[in-house]
Structure 1
Amino acid sequence: MKRTLITYGGSQYTIPDEDTEQVRDRITRGLQSEPFIWLEVNHGEGRATPALLLISPSTPVAIITERDADEDTAHPDAARYVLDPGHSLPGSPENHDPEL
């Protein structure tokens, strides 16, 4: 199952069964005919709550496709990394609290 994560106003929302291209196309088509659109999303973990996001040409929005770990992807060489507690990657802050 795929779903798209939307970051809007510092919060994350989800859209089920659509990838980034579908969501981006829907936003682009909507803004071609209207000065703004309402984007239907879900908010919250577990039992999601329906929400509407007001999208305009100047609205900063991040669109991210999230897939199940066992799902075949278009980029099979892409990997997800989980660091052990106390480890960091180059460029990570040296004095960070992993509990944050």
Structure 2
Amino acid sequence: MNRVDIVYGGAQYSLAGRSIESIQTEISVAITAGTPYWLRVNSGGGRFEDAYLLIAPGIPFAVLNVKPEDGQDIDLDVDGVFGKDLL
């Protein structure tokens, strides 16, 4: 199963069973509409917990493809930044 991670406000969220392209399209349509949009994601690590991310112009976020099409896993925590308090 595909999993796409989203980094938003310094926290990591995920979406399962979606392609990165479908999420990019959903976000592009929302931004183009010019109205705030709430993207439903998973915030739980191991169990599903709904979280809703506000998608609007000026709010930064990143979409990460966890399992590329070649099937090889990638390390999202290359520099050890996930899970650390940066303040």
TM alignment of 1:12-23, pairs within 5 A: 12-23=12-23
Over 6 Å off, 4+ runs = none
Q: Which has the larger radius of gyration?
A: 1
**Secondary structure of 1:29's match?**
helix
- Structure 1 residues 32 and 44: alpha-carbon distance in aligned structure 2, compared to 1, 3 A threshold: same
Task: Give aligned pairs, total.
Answer: 77
Which letter does structure 1 place at the counterpart of 2:33? S
1:37 is matched with 37
| TM-score (structure 2 length as normaliser) | 0.74
Equivalents in 2 of 1:45, 1:66: separation in Å? 15
Q: Which segments of 5 or more consecutive residues in structure 2 lack a partner in the other structure?
A: none
| TM-score (structure 1 length as normaliser) | 0.66
8 A Cα contact 1:30 1:36, kept in partner = yes
Which letter does structure 2 place at the counterpart of 1:58? G
Q: Which segments of 5 or more consecutive residues in structure 1 lack a partner in the other structure?
A: 82-91, 93-99
CA RMSD of aligned residues (A): 2.5
Identical amino acids, percent of aligned pairs: 31
